[in-house]
Amino acid sequence: MNYALIGCGRIAVNHIKAVVNNGLEMIAACDLIPEQIDNLFEKTGFQKQVARYTDYKKLVDEHPELELVSIATDSGVHAEIALYCIDHGLNVIIEKPIAMSLDDADEIIRRAEAKHVKVSACHQNRFNVAVQELRRALDSGRFGKLSHGSINVRWNRNRDYYDQAAWRGKWASDGGALMNQCIHGIDLLRWMMGSEVAEVYGATRQQYHPYLECEDVGMAVVKFKNGTIGTIEGTVNVYPQTSKRRSTSSARTERSSSAAPPATTSTSGTSRTPARRIRTSPACMRRPATSTETVTRACSPT
């Protein structure tokens, strides 16, 4: 499949790995900063010579042989680029979020259906080992009838993180803790609850990052159409882990402290089979060492 990558920043490394792993024929790469393309290929060891662009429209127009495009740019231009690619009959993979507004997201879906092309959002956490295991358990009825679920994303993002890219923390180009850091957890909550959303209410606040436009903490309650309820907690205000707080009592403890923390899924209440605890290995969940993410399921008898 003939492929092009638009946006060659930090997350683009994963897209190059996907190109190699899936045997795609990479035709072109695009970034506003040409050096970013060089840096990306150097990091990944990608040696194939491809066409290089700073204008995504020129890339699309000059390569009618393209079949698939990945969009890994700043979030604020995802919809604009996606719609241009769709209008030219291209299948599109879009980094999260696919758009900064519901209107733009709906328009992407509408045009993709009209043009008979496929659009995929990058919600790669659905393929984590523990997440797949949990989904299979739910589908098999192991936990009985779901009553409610919750997602808690407690991360730390300091000023250094936001200073790395001028578009971060702005309404037009990024969104806040819920749109950026929490979006994968929200996706998993909706997927696991097995229903569309009927109603949402909640609150967001800007507590400790006055240099940002957007929220650094958000809380919400979600009502699903199947009658279940979900809660969402997302924040970048959790105090970071430091070397002074890390235990060095054993090599095992040290490894656990320095690696990405495992996500834990648990069930509670009464179901057809006893509740069990499923833990992922650090290799399965690529999370920064300062984060903790917990998904909890509560069940009742069927």
Domain spans, the chain: 2-122, 126-300
Mean pLDDT, range 193-216, rounded to an integer: 95
CA gap 17, 21 in Å, rounded: 6
What is the share, in percent, of the chain residues with pLDDT greater than 70? Answer: 79
Question: Cβ distance 257 to 112 under 8 Å?
Answer: no
According to CATH, the topology of domain 2-122 is Rossmann fold (3.40.50)
Tell whether the model's pLDDT for residue 194 goes beyond 60. Answer: yes
CA distances from 301 to 24, 51, 120, 141, 271 (A): 47, 58, 36, 11, 5
* Tens-place pLDDT, residues 121-155: 999 999 999 999 999 999 999 999 999 999 999 99
Helix (H, G, I), strand (E, B) or coil at 141: coil
Task: Say what the pTM is.
Answer: 0.77
Residue 188 has pLDDT above 50, yes or no: yes
What percent of the chain is predicted at pLDDT more than 90? 77
Give CA–CA dist 181/217, Å, rounded: 10
Contact 231, 150 (CB under 8 A): yes
Residue 252: the pLDDT is: 38
CB 194 within 8 A of CB 138: yes
Q: How far is CA 146 from CA 193, 260, 263, 293, in A?
A: 7, 29, 20, 20
Give the integer Cα–Cα distance in Å for 7 and 33. 9
Q: How far apart are CA 301 and CA 65, in angstroms?
A: 54
The reported pLDDT for the residue numbered 240 is 79
Backbone φ and ψ of 125, nearest 5°: -65, -20
pLDDT of 270 over the 70 cut = no
Nearest to 238 by CA among 163, 168, 284, 288: 288
Select 126-300's CATH number: 3.40.140.10, 3.10.129.10, 2.60.40.10, 3.30.360.10: 3.30.360.10
| Mean of pLDDT over the chain | 84
Number of H helices, E strands in the chain: 9, 13
Where are the strands (E) in 155-228, listed by range?
197-205, 217-224
From residue 220, how far is each of 53, 97, 152, 193 by CA, in Å? 42, 19, 11, 15
Q: How many CA atoms lie within 13 A of 279 on its CB side?
A: 6
Q: What residues form DSSP beta bridges with 71? A: 6, 94
Distance CA 69, CA 92 (A): 5
